[in-house]
Structure 1
Amino acid sequence: MPMFHGMGVLQSCWTASSGLVVSSFEPKSPAPVPTPDALFVAAKATESDMCFACLHSSRRGPGTRTTFAGLLLVEAWYVCLVPLFGGGPLNKEAGDFMTSQGVSILILYGSTEGGIMSPILPSQVGYDWDYFKFPGLVTPHMEPYGDNTYEFVMLENEYCRPSVINIKIGGVDAYASSDMMIPHPTKQGYWKVFGRTDDQIMHNTGEKTNPGPLENMLNQDPHVLASVMFGRGRFQAGILVDPRPQHRVDPADETKLAEFRNMIWYVILSFQMIIVSNPSKPFTYTAKSTARRQAAIDDYAEEIDAAYDRVEESTQSSIPPPSQWDRPTTLDFVRAVINKVLVHNVDDNDDIFQHGCDSLQATHIRNALLRALRDSAQLDTRKSVRNFVYDLPTVISLAAFLLELATLGAWSGSLKSIESRADSMLAMAAKYLNDLPKHKSATSTAGLHPVILVTGTTGSLGSFLLSRLVEDPSVARIYAVNRPARDGRGLRARQEAVMASRGLDIACLENSKVVLLEADISVAGFNLSHEVYAEMQSSVTHVIHNAWRVDFNLSLESFEPNVKGVRHLIDFALSSPRPSPPRTLFTSSIGVFQNIEGVQLAEQFISPAVAVGSGYSELKWVAERILMEAAEKTSLETLVVRVGQICGGPDGAWNAHEWFPSMVQSATILGCFPDDPKAVSWVPLATAASALAGLVHAAYKKDVIHLIHPRLVTWSSLAAVIADELNVSLVPYAEWLSRLEALHDAPPRRPDGRMEVELLRTVRALRVLPWYQGLQISRSGTEALGFPALSVTRAKELSPVLAEVAPLSSEDVRKWLAFWRETQSL
């Protein structure tokens, strides 16, 4: 171990404190090179019992086992755990091989701020060599970071205090390390280092990429010296690669460049998103011989921009545009593009979003179709409808759109009238009201305590709702129903992660009355076994339907699986053998008020034209209509709860990507924050959950209520705290919006004259600029920013929690700001 290294320094201390004898190479000039072979020979010659070494690779060969086994204790030193330094773990293949040969591998985890935080010489090691546990002198706190990853936070205790304090947990001083870890799947208390929170790449789709594991994988390639991933604010990730000296190529040589990319491509990334370093622009490295991430990204900003431009320009360019614009040719072209992007065929009338199309694929389809219009029809597509793929999600409708643009230069049907969209909503509701079953009670199975089926417990509101239901001693059982995760993670792990991230006690999941079920309510029978479904039918007394896809781009038709779920829940309730069907509560949204003005809008059913806006608001109305009609025609008792704007949790936690936190983040960049003298009725997360849970005990037949704060406060009172804390001015909303639009249209330039594109990608408010532009500020009889003013009379009658909740205060605002600062979202 080099003596300038932290581990080398510690060995010097151990020599004095515990009698450890250190053997080292004899001082010479030039100094001996500590190759693996030289280390093995020296360790054997000095009869060493242990060998501490910085391991980056391991060779296989004759005699390796006899040299190692019983002789050397090998330590893998994770240099990446010192903030501002980088590095990587021991090669997984090499570690597994050495372990299989009888070698015991020890991980030593430490940092400048916390010292050594793992057992130095654990009594037992084994095949899980890449996991470790914390010793008794360290008090770890694992902060959930999503996807079963956690940030390690070191709490102060009487034995150990971090040298840097940057956070408080439960009133205790602590050091948030920014080190991401994942738990051992079966061994309680064992952890593996996964990466760094400050290296997370947030894409403009809201998805995240953790570059650490992917970079480490690529850095093991014999052709690669170092790699750096990029893609913050972009729709996909890319990677910068610095080849080893013997493999360096001139990026201008397309043949050599392609050969090198083919050697390292694997299946990690798009071929076009691999940028190879230019010998004239070398990477810079830290003292630990790892690439400086931000320096590399800054140096290659032009190349990165060009790579994304190429992807946009070349999307589906392999499919030639129509040589003539007629219906059969256009249909063939659109069909080919969609089937290639989705990697499977869909029927011409199928909704592509019901066949797995995501936002990235929708972007590819849009770019390919617009490219065809530019190249073949010589049409200026800059003013084309932004979300036309979402508005027209079938081959047939997209082909009609494309053909009309190509031949007439305009699309006459791109904006349906409010009346026609309302007709579509009525038609969809009527479709799912056909053949409603009649409730036929069998032998009475009535119990004294509620048994609840609740959907959507892995979201913010749902997780608090589940916790509140568990706390209710009158509730006998809770079936928490959620869809299976696309990434294969189990429901228990997902539920624990979301609850821990919101400060909820995951121990409540150990309660015997909690039953976690992976199911799909859009399918008859919920894709559950007959036994489980029958058990729920015979016991459930209340249904709380809280699960709903949130995507404001999708059209009404693309949301249809959600309305299928509503109908299947109605069928479930009406087929119950109990004396009366389970009472059904549905969490709708105040977003259904899209086209109406007035003071204190009543808690009652509304006409479809009022809800015409986004597919999200339109389908919420459809679900309301189906439930109201079902209650009218059957013995089903239903309650529609239109949930208003939910604000932060008890600790201030508020998703930084929602519209208001994004607006707050813009303040320091724009130098201002919008003001409005009108009121807001935002309800805290915990209050909303408690109110919903309490409604289990409310009496209703066919009711609609508004779950909003009954004690209004002015926007100005909240905005004043933000302006003061962030040291910005308060301005009229129109001025704030104009500054945001100016930033979008003409971003500032860097000293070198280039546009500061990264700023545009990091200002979250720019991502929802059309939404801000669509707010109807001048609408009369509204709350702040044009939000509807709603009655809450019936809600207070049914929910004592709402009747007693305290108004929002400046302290609430400071909690939000503190949370965003702690999570580096501000």
Structure 2
Amino acid sequence: MATTQSGPEYGKRLLPHVIDCVAKTNPNRECFSTPLSSNPQDGWRAVTYGQYATAIDRLAHHIVKTSGTPEPGSFPTLTYIGINDPVYLVFVIAAVKAGYKIKALFLSPRNSEEAQLNLLQLTACDIVYHDATFQKPVEAWKSKQTSLKNNLLMPLDFWLDENGDQRSFPYVKDAKKAEWEPFVVLHTSGSTGLPKPIVVPHGFIMLDDKKHLLPEWKGRESVIRGLARTNRMWTPMPFSHAGGIYTFFGYHIYWETPVTFAIMDRPLTADFVVEQLAHAEPDIQSIVLMPSILEEFSLTEKGCETLSKFKFVVFGGGNLSDATGAKLLSRGVKLQNSFGSTECGMLPYYWQSNPEAWQWLIIHSDVLGVDWRPVAGEDDIFEMVIVRKDGPFSQQGIFWTHPHLEEWSSRDLFQRHPTLEDHWRYHGRCDDLIVFSNGEKLNPVTVENAINGHPKVKTAILVGTMRFQPALIIDPVSHPLTKQETKSLFDEFWILVAETNRRLPSHAQISKQLILLTSPNKPFPKLAKNTVHRAPAIKLYETEVDALYQKAEAGWEDARCNLDLGSKETFLASICRLFQTLTCVDTIEPDTNFFKAGIDSLQVVNACRLLRGALRNKSDKINPQRITPRIIYNKPSARQLTADLWAQHIGSLEEVDPDIEAANTMASLLAKYTKDLPERPATDKPPARTSQQTVILTGSTGRLGSFLLDSLVQDPAVERVICLNRAEDGRTRQLRLNAARGMQNNLDKVEFLQADLSQPGLGLPVEMYTRLQTSADRIIHAQWAVNFNLPLDSFEPHIRGTRNLVDFCARTARSTHLVTVSTVLAATSWNGHDSAPGTVPDGGYAQSKLLADLIVQQAAARGGVSAAVVRVGQVAGPEGDGLWSVDEWLPRLVCSSVRALGLLPRSLGVMSMVNWITSEAAARLVLEVAGLGPDGINRARGVYYGVNPHPVHFSTLVEPIVGFYAGRVRSVVDWRDWVAALERSNGEAADVTQNPALQLLDFNRDTPAEGSGVRFHFSLESTLEASRCVRDMLPITPEMFVQWCRKWDF
């Protein structure tokens, strides 16, 4: 064993050497205690290091006798499967010793036959050792894998028998040479598919020995050192599981702390734990328990009292609900959180000495090499990504199990503590994220924790993938037997759900009609850690969940939403009450715009359900199929909606041409916001500066906005950038997004102001507004809500904001140049009053953008401001190191094609002509039109188009994409066939992290096929003449697309 004159050489000690060394120097030192039987009253047997080492040598000789000595460097695989007892712990070291090159694959008894055979095949394992209880299953495996040889292994008592073979089995290895040799092969839990083997080398497990060298950090000791301060620990860890192997060898052996093993031949309960503790050794000072067992302990005073006697209680393998933790804490229980994984081992976190912070891990990010990467749309939620980083105290187990990687995306999400530095709380998996059909995302952990805190709830699972809102499946502790009991339990749960809803964003709130109780004959499947196996559990209840949603779509009946059809006036009043009840808004007047009052897309869906349910038996003329979100988007006030529904009710509904209706609304808004546009000033203002400039930018946190800001920060001619953001913490959000996009975070010359462009004075204090008028040289307006569902009048605040910016420019000290970023969707021939088919843009978003363009163009023509419009098409990925966001439609399409469908479309329907521009090119064009940079256009006017003048067909990119993904794309199909395959892949159990195009299923379904007659043409003559950026633009090449594929890492 590696030692120096000053003592052990920590981090360089191989486990067989450590065990043999202690056995030689202190043979009677206790290593572990194991139950004598399945009856706690029979007690436990203490096993010394001398006995353990002898058992290992005895089994090593047996392995060589029964399986031979392997050829040097051949690395054959042995496996063992048996009851949960210390034979596993003897076998792994014996296998390492027997010929030096043998790996031990540990199979979990909980695996299916398919999983076991798959693991045997993946590891080329033909030799299985087993105990008597697994004789029949192994024989069954042999019938399907004929090369398999099996060996019955004697029980633990045989290997510990003092009268047995006493021959030693020397292990002569140098730690440096053996560090990459296999120590053991474990496997993942299989929570996202079949379990996968993980080869654990000696160097990996020696990291726990190296933790002896971890110094105190910020006054804290490492958690493993804190655990070692206990005389003895009681643990129920399964020996075939990584948690059991890592804890025993990495902690109990390397830190020489005795452990008492639990009786594990039956399901563990709080009562059974208490019974075992009553007959186990009296010097047990700490205990390891799963959250589900802690939940049980918290329900009784006796349980709380039992746990309060320990120095600390370690929990892991899942989240402990806040309510349970708080109750245990109040009863004097000292909790310690733990976290690790098969691939990574135990993280190098530190001892939590603050009892109130029991949920929070203190993680040394430098030692672990963590790059905390923000999750889009989530505040203070980060994914743990480990980046290779060498250092004297480095603890990076992942690069021992995955040596080919430079960084590892754990898929584990953590929440950062708002005030305590280095404190992180586990927040679930990226894979668990629910992505709703409207694009909203939800991590179910917070909701499930709140519901799981109820004493009558065993487990709650939130579902809703590709639905419009979540549903809740509750597995109660005790299932009701009668309808009355069901109703009482349901009502009791609803009180907690309603309370939880108040703390959730609207898209995450659970409706009463979308709660399901499990059936007693369909229990949730469990993993080895006694946590629910999420995907199979959701699949198990797929039919019931589908029926729940279908019933909800048919309409909800709610006593609070009684519609009075006695007259049009009473009907209007009851519609107002319905929306008031739905939204909790104090007052909904007949002419209140629903969306300006804060109604969101989920509430629109629920309003439709309530209307269908309330009208079901009251009017046979109102077609429930017409009550869809579209009618509310198009009739966004109680008066408008009532007029439409009442006309149906009395049979006088006349269909209005939507183009005429849209044209009339647009004409009214255009007249409103072009009234009294600023005139040309009597005397010319000083021109905008060309150096030491101040540039005002809106929308800096959007993708294009981020590239604009990045360029402005690097422009030496720009002295100051003023970012007007809707959010209060603009700088914090910008820094987070820049880090995620790989952009620089030097924002020293950027000032962030909270503004509301729709308000007078841009919502700024008077003195701030005046200062900006004095200093501004250029304004780039890139802020707009992107929502293709909302009607035109919902965008009126944005349209008003554009007019307010025009007025601001008219009053600045210099001739401030305004550039607004628009969309090619606004490129129609509508002239302010025409309603001919095809002239009015489709949808409120495009209509609002066109109105803003016309306001700017008319203002420039009037001479009151210098202004221009840039209509941008598809902005592709970056030319440089950044990432094309995987949340956009095309990356989603590629991801689904590769991960879920195995099919790639040869075209993109009517969007098959790839006239995309890169992110940098889009930013360069906008800056040129703003008059910035060496190729800035002086006082640009009119409309410029951000599309590629050298389009290529998508089919020219298909072959390189297929080649890059090397066999993962089985076939190339037509657009319609690809969409049909995407539709077939939909379902409650669909994993949108693997199949994200499902999130845009409606968009893909509605995209016309190529050759449908729908085409987009843009006149680029003036843009090419004025813009060097567009003139020099190159077509999108296969090499560029492959580069984006490489960065997506699908």
Residue 143 (str. 1) matches residue 373 (str. 2): yes
Could you list the per-position Cα deviations for residues 624-654 of structure 1 after superposition, in whole angstroms to 9, with x for gaps in the alignment?
Answer: 1111121222431101001111122456744
The answer to whether the Cα contact below 8 Å between 1:552 and 1:614 also exists between their aligned partners in 2 is: yes
Gap change, CA 1:263 and 1:392, over 3 Å in 2 = closer
C-alpha distance 316-549 of structure 1, shift in aligned 2 (>3 A): farther
Equivalent position of 2:740 in the other structure = 501
Deviation at 1:388, TM superposition (A): 1.8
Which amino acid letter does the alignment assign opposite residue 1032 of structure 2? E
1:134 CA displacement: 2.5
SS at the partner of 1:150? strand
Aligned partner (choices 916, 921, 926) of residue 682 of structure 1:
916
Q: What TM-score do the two structures reach when normalised by structure 1? A: 0.81
If the length of structure 2 is used for normalisation, what is the TM-score?
Answer: 0.65
Q: C-alpha deviations, 1:161-198, integer Å up to 9, x for none?
A: 54579999xx9523221110122334554422111111
1:475 corresponds to: 718
Deviation at 1:475, TM superposition (A): 1.2
Counterpart among 293, 306, 325 of residue 94 in structure 1: 325
8 A Cα contact 2:552 2:609, kept in partner = no
The answer to whether 1:312 aligns with 2:312 is: no
Q: Check 1:26–1:139 CA distance in 2 against 1; reply closer, same or farther (3 A cut).
A: closer
By how many angstroms is 1:481 displaced?
1.4
C-alpha distance after superposition, 1:236-264 (max 9, x if no partner): 1121111113x645579653443443464
Partner in structure 2 of residue 517 of structure 1: 753
Q: Secondary structure at the match of 2:325?
A: helix
| Per-residue deviation, residues 218-276 of structure 1 (Å, max 9, x unmatched) | 2222111111111111111121111113x645579653443443464342332222211
Task: Give CA-to-partner distance per residue, 1:602-628, whole Å, 9 cap, x none.
Answer: xx9998863432221211111111111
Aligned residue identity for 1:297: I
The answer on whether the counterparts of 2:452 and 2:459 sit within 8 Å (CA) in structure 1 is yes
Aligned to 1:272: 513
Alpha-carbon contact 1:594-1:613 (below 8 Å) kept: no
Q: Secondary structure at the match of 1:476?
A: strand
Aligned partner of 2:731: which letter? Answer: R
1:766 and 2:1001 aligned: yes
Are 2:1023 and 1:795 equivalent residues in the alignment? yes
Match of 1:78 in 2: 316
* Bigger Cα displacement from structure 2, 337-346 vs 248-257: 248-257
Q: Please give the secondary structure, in 2, of the residue aligned with 1:175.
A: strand
**Tell me, what secondary structure is at the counterpart of 2:439?**
coil
The residue number in structure 2 matching 1:632 is: 861
Q: Does 1:376 align with 2:610?
A: no
Measure how far apart 1:8 and its partner are.
5.7
Higher mean alpha-carbon deviation, 289-298 vs 60-69, is at 60-69
Local SS of the residue matching 2:1001: helix
Question: Which residue does 2:409 correspond to in 1?
Answer: 176
Correspondence for 2:523:
282
**Shift in Å at residue 669 of structure 1?**
4.2
Aligned match of 1:570: 806
Report the CA distance shift for 1:406/1:443 in structure 2 as closer, same or farther (over 3 A): closer
**Which amino acid in structure 1 is aligned with residue 666 of structure 2?**
M
Q: Which residue, 650, 661, 682 being the options, matches 1:407?
A: 650
Residue in 1 aligned with 2:592?
A: 350
Judge conservation of contact 1:152–1:176 (CA < 8 Å) in 2. Answer: yes
Matches within 5 A, 1:713-724: 713-722=952-961
1:430 corresponds in structure 2 to: 671
Q: In structure 1, what is the equivalent of residue 603 of structure 2?
A: 361
SS in 1 for 2:362: coil
Q: 1:518 to 1:75 in 2, by over 3 A?
A: farther
Aligned pair in 2 of structure 1 residues 658, 119: CA closer, same or farther (>3 Å)?
A: closer
State the shift of 1:350 in Å.
2.8
Q: What is the correspondence of 1:806-821 to structure 2 with a 5 Å cutoff?
A: 806-818=1034-1046
Paired residues for 1:669-708 under 5 Å:
669=901, 671=903, 673-675=905-907, 679-694=913-928, 695-697=930-932, 698=936, 699-708=938-947
CA distance in 1, matches of 2:303, 2:996: 55
Deviation string, structure 1 residues 481-526 (Cα, Å, up to 9, x no partner): 12138xxxx3334323322232223x22xx3211122221111123
Matches of 2:753 and 2:334 in 1, distance apart?
Answer: 41
Contact 1:75 1:108 in 2 (8 A): no
After superposition, what is the alpha-carbon deviation per residue over 1:742-776, rounded to whole angstroms, capped at 9, x for unaligned?
986xx5999xxx99999999734532256414x78
Aligned-partner Cα distance in 2 for 1:67–1:259: 33
SS in 2 for 1:336: helix
Separation of aligned partners in 1, 2:733 and 2:712: 18
AA at the equivalent of 2:548: A
Please tell me whether the aligned partners of residues 250 and 278 of structure 1 are also in contact (alpha carbons under 8 angstroms): no
For 2:626 and 2:321, locate their aligned partners in 1 and report how far apart those are by CA, in whole Å: 52
Hey, what does 1:533 align to over in structure 2? 769
**Matched residues in 1 for 2:778 and 2:593: separation?**
33
Q: Secondary structure at the match of 1:763?
A: helix
Deviates more, 1:476-485 or 1:420-429: 420-429
Deviations 1:340-392 (A, max 9, x none): 32333333223211111211122223334445665433244436776121112
Distance 1:714 1:655 in 2: 22
- The equivalent of 2:542 in structure 1 is 301
Q: Cα distance, 1:115 vs. partner?
A: 1.2
- Counterpart amino acid of residue 296 in structure 1: A
1:390/1:66 Cα in 2 relative to 1: closer, same or farther (>3 Å)? closer
> SS where residue 412 of structure 1 aligns?
coil
User: What's the offset of the Cα at 1:105?
Assistant: 5.4
- The reply on whether 1:185 has 2:418 as its aligned counterpart is yes
CA distance in 2, matches of 1:37, 1:605: 82
Tell me the equivalent position of 1:644: 873
Deviation at 1:407, TM superposition (A): 3.0
From the superposition, tell whether residues 737 and 52 of structure 1 become closer, same or farther in structure 2 (CA, over 3 Å): closer
CA–CA distance in structure 2, aligned partners of residues 727 and 9 of structure 1: 39
CA distance in 2, matches of 1:341, 1:54: 40
How far 1:210 moved relative to its partner?
0.8
Shift of 1:715: 2.5
CA distance in 2, matches of 1:763, 1:136: 38
Moved more, 713-722 or 227-236: 713-722
Q: CA deviation at 1:455?
A: 0.9
Q: Secondary structure at the match of 1:229?
A: strand
Match of 1:548 among 778, 781, 784: 784
Preserved contact between residue 417 and residue 425 of structure 2 (Cα < 8 Å): yes
Larger Rg: 2
- Local SS of the residue matching 2:1040: helix
* Structure 1 counterpart of 2:417, one-letter code: H
Question: 1:461 is matched with which residue?
Answer: 704
In the alignment, structure 1 segments of 5+ residues that lack a partner are: 80-86, 597-603, 780-784
CA distance change for structure 1 residues 15 and 338 in 2, over 3 Å: closer, same or farther? closer
1:593 corresponds, among 827, 850, 853, to 827
**Secondary structure of the residue that 2:529 maps to in structure 1?**
coil
Helix, strand or coil for the counterpart of 1:295?
Answer: helix
Comparing 647-656 and 697-706, the one that deviates more? 647-656
Residue identity in the other structure for 2:859: A
The alignment partner of 1:568 has SS state of helix
Instruction: Determine if the alignment matches structure 1 residue 615 to structure 2 residue 844.
Output: yes
Over residues 376-424 of structure 1, what are the superposed CA-to-partner deviations in whole Å (9 max), with x where a residue is unaligned?
A: 33244436776121112122221221122233375421x3345x53343
User: Contact between 2:906 and 2:954, CA under 8 Å: does it hold in 1?
Assistant: no
Over the aligned positions, Cα root-mean-square deviation in angstroms equals 4.4
What residue number does 1:782 align with?
Answer: none
Deviation at 1:127, TM superposition (A): 5.1
User: Which residue of structure 1 aligns with residue 532 of structure 2?
Assistant: 291
Q: Which moved more, 1:365-374 or 1:523-532?
A: 365-374
